[in-house]
A and B are shown apart, each in its own frame.
Chain A
Amino acid sequence: MCEEAGVPASTLCCEGFVGLAKATSIGLGMPTIPVAVVPGHTNVQSTLELRSNVLETTLRNVIDNLTTQPEAGVFGDEPEDGAMVFEGSFEAVNDHFVEQEWSDGLPIVPPTRARIEAFLAHTDEPPEKVLGVMLPDSRAATIWSVAVNGVMAGCRPEYMPVLVALAEAMADPYYGVEHSGNTPGGETLIIVNGPIVKELGLNYTQGVMRDGFRPNTSIGRFWRLYLRNVAGFLLHKNDKATFGNTWRVVIAENEDCLTKIGWNTVAEDMGMARGANAVTISRHTGGNLSVSLSGDVRRDMLPYLADSVVRQVNWQIMFTVGQGMGTLRPQVLITPILAETFFKAGITKQDLKQYLFDHARMPAREFERILRDWTLKPTWDLVQEVRLGTIPKVFAESDDPNRMVPIVWEPNDYMIAVTGDPMRNSAYVFGHNGILGYPVTHEIRLPKGWKTH
C-alpha cells in the first residue's frame, strides 16, 4: 500500500519469514520489494541479542531498502485460465500435479473436460464468473476453478452448489482468507445446514468429524485444495503454519433434533432463514472433547461445559482484548441427546449462550497476566481499556483483580451446533482463531431443476 502511494517502504521480517515475504510479494504485484531481516526470532532473544542483531543486520538492510532502487519485477509465465495443461496416464497426471504443487499429495481424480462439465451442469453460474479475488496469490475464484478442484478432490458433481458457496465464503473479507498461512496454523471448520444435508447424504450423526462419508470427506478436501491452488497457500512458501494439521471433515447439523426442540440452526444464528441451504465457516487451532456430561443439568452438566470452554482458551484471549477486539467466537458442538436434555430442563439455545457468557470466565488478574506475559501485547489493562471505551464494561465491573470476566464480548459470540452421535452425552469445544478466520455464512444456491441423482 505504501509503495503504491509512492512512499518507499522497508518491511521487517524475522529470518524464518523471508521466504513467505518473497512469495507474498509476487501476488501483490511487487516481486522485488525489499525486506529487512531480523536474524532468528525476536521472541526468543534477550534484549542484548535483539539489539545486536538489529544493529548488525536489520539496520543495514533498512538503509539499503530505502535508498537503493530495486530492479523492476517480472512475473513468470503461467497458463491461460481454463487451459489444458497435461495429458497422460492416471499415474503420470498425478506425478505431474505433485511436481507442479497442484496436489495435496494424495492421488487426485484427473480433472478432464467431461468431469469438469458434469460439475458445471450443477450450477447456473457461467464458468468464467469471478466470485472474488483472494490473497496472497491474487487469483480469481472462478466457477471453472471450483469445478476443477472439486473433481480433483473426489467430489461428486452434485456437490457443486456447496463448493461454489464455500469459494464465496473463502473470498468473504470478513473471513480473512489472507491469514490462512499464519503461525497458529488453524484449520477451517465447515458446517452445512438445510435440506441439502440429507439430499447429498452428509453424515450428521455418529462420528461426524471422521472421514468415511464421501460428501463430508471430499468437500473438506476440496477446501484445502482450493486454498492451495487459488488462494495460494503452499507449505514452505505462503503457508507458515508452525505445525499445521490436515483439513477438517465437513460436518452438518442434526436439524431433525433442532426442529424437535425449537432451537435455531447455526445458519439461522448467522442470519439465514430456516430451511435455507447454507455453509458456515470458521477457523480453529484445535479442540477437545468433553466426554460424558452427566447428572443434573444445572448442577453438573452446564458447569462442566463452561469449564471445558475456558480450558480451550488461553492465548486466544488476544482476540477478545487486544489484537482482535471482540472477534473470539468459540464453537461448541453438543450431541442431540444433550440438546434435548437441556431443552427438557427449560434451557433454550439463547439461555445456553448466556450461561456460557456468565460462567465460562476467568479471574481478571489471570486474563491480564496471559495477555501481558504470554502474548506480549501492549493491551492488557482491562480497567484502562473500559475507561477508554475500547471494550465492554463487563470487563471492569469493579477493580477487584479476582473478579470473574468473560472470555467473549457478548453471549451471541458463542456458536453452538447440534451434531454427532444422537445417543451420546458428550460435547466438543474448538479453540477459535479470531480475526484469522472469523465466522461467515453463505447461502448454497441450487440450480434450476435441481436434483441430486
Chain B
Amino acid sequence: MGTRKTAAKKSPAGETPAPAESDGHYRVYWPRTRRRAALKPLAQRPQSLAGKKIAFLWDYVFRGDEIFGILQKELSDRYPGMTFVNYAEFGNTHGSDEHQVVASLPNKLKELKVDAVISGMGC
C-alpha cells in the first residue's frame, strides 16, 4: 500500500498554522555495556577416557540420575578402568545453596582427582 497524502487540517483564520509533521533527528546511545567476562581457554581434553575418573554433577531435576546410570554403564563397557564419582558427593548445583556448591567445585574436583565432568540437566 502506498503512502496516502491527506490535506492538512486548516487552522482558523488569523491563527498560526501548525508546523509540518516532523520525525526529528536523534543521535542515540548504546543501551548495553561491554561484557566483563574475558575469553577463557577450555580445559585440555584427554585422547581417551580409558582409566579416567568421571564425576557427575546434577541439579536434581529432569531425570539426570537415570541418564547418569545409563552413561556410567555404557562408558564402563567401552573404556577399561573408568571410575565414577556420584553427584551426591557435590550437592545440588541448582538448589538453595547453589552458590556454595558451585564455588566449592574446583577444590573438590582436585581433592577427588577427577579427570572429567558430566553435568546435567538443562531442560
- Whether B9 sits at the interface, judged by CB under 8 Å, is no
Write the chain B residue with the least CB distance to A9. Answer: B117
The 9 tightest CB contacts between A and B, nearest first, are A12-B120, A5-B106, A29-B37, A14-B123, A89-B23, A110-B26, A138-B37, A13-B122, A9-B117
Q: Is the CB of B94 within 8 A of A323?
A: yes
Report the minimal beta-carbon distance from A409 to chain B, rounded to whole angstroms.
Answer: 11
Q: Which residues of B pack against A, CB within 8 Å? A: 23-49, 57, 60-67, 70-71, 74-75, 78, 92, 94-99, 102-103, 105-106, 109-110, 114-123
Write the chain A residue with the least CB distance to B52. Answer: A66
- Whether A206 sits at the interface, judged by CB under 8 Å, is no
Contact residue among B26, B34, B61, B74 (Cβ-Cβ distance under 8 Å from A323): B61
Provide the bound-state CA to CA distance between A6 and B40, in Å.
11
Contact residue among A43, A54, A112 (Cβ-Cβ distance under 8 Å from B71): A54
Q: Is the CB of A90 within 8 A of B24?
A: yes
Provide the bound-state CA to CA distance between A19 and B67, in Å.
21
Size bracket, chain A contacts? 35 or more
Q: Is the CB of A43 within 8 A of B123?
A: yes
Q: Is the CB of A7 within 8 A of B115?
A: yes
Write the chain B residue with the least CB distance to A378. Answer: B60
A-B pairs under 8 A by CB, number: 257
Report the minimal beta-carbon distance from A390 to chain B, rounded to whole angstroms.
Answer: 10
Q: Which residues of A pack against B, CB within 8 Å? A: 1-14, 16-17, 20-21, 26-33, 35-36, 38, 41-43, 47, 50-51, 54-55, 58-59, 62-63, 66-70, 72-75, 78-93, 97, 102, 110-113, 116, 133, 137-142, 144-145, 148-149, 152, 173, 183, 225, 229-230, 322-327, 376-379, 435
| Complex contacts, B99 vs chain A, CB 8 Å | 173
| Complex contacts, B70 vs chain A, CB 8 Å | 50-51, 54-55, 59
Provide the bound-state CA to CA distance between A205 and B110, in Å.
57
Provide the bound-state CA to CA distance between A324 and B116, in Å.
28
Write the chain A residue with the least CB distance to B27. Answer: A87
| Other contacts beyond A2-B43, A67-B46, A140-B33: 14, CB < 8 A | A2-B105, A12-B118, A16-B123, A32-B42, A42-B63, A54-B67, A63-B75, A66-B45, A69-B45, A112-B26, A138-B36, A229-B32, A325-B95, A326-B96
